[in-house]
Structure 1
Amino acid sequence: MSYKSEGPEEKALKEADGRYVEYSEELADTDDVEAQKRAKKADDRVKNRRQ
């Protein structure tokens, strides 16, 4: 077990839906932005089906 302090790589990781995802809006290109929009729409469709 490691008790080292959290480095920049670990801080860049965000927990979303049980997965660790590394994402920075500042560094996103147009393909990244489009992929994020498609992923959000897909997530919304799944959530609407569950209701």
Structure 2
Amino acid sequence: MSFNLDINGHRALVTGGTKGVGAAVVESLHGAGARVIATARSVPEVAPEGVS
């Protein structure tokens, strides 16, 4: 599925963004041009490029 969210340059905060659905949301938002900050209970081994 592909659609234009028109969020280029916007900021997004994703809680639980390091595993499963949360990680997929982070990837989708970042791919759509948003500046993404992800929070979780643990730090992932490898953080996605450009995601805080």
Same fold, TM exceeding 0.5? no
For the pair shown, which has the larger CA radius of gyration, 1 or 2?
1
- When the two structures are superposed, what TM-score results if normalisation uses the length of structure 1? 0.31
- When the two structures are superposed, what TM-score results if normalisation uses the length of structure 2? 0.31
The structure with the largest helix share of the pair is: 1
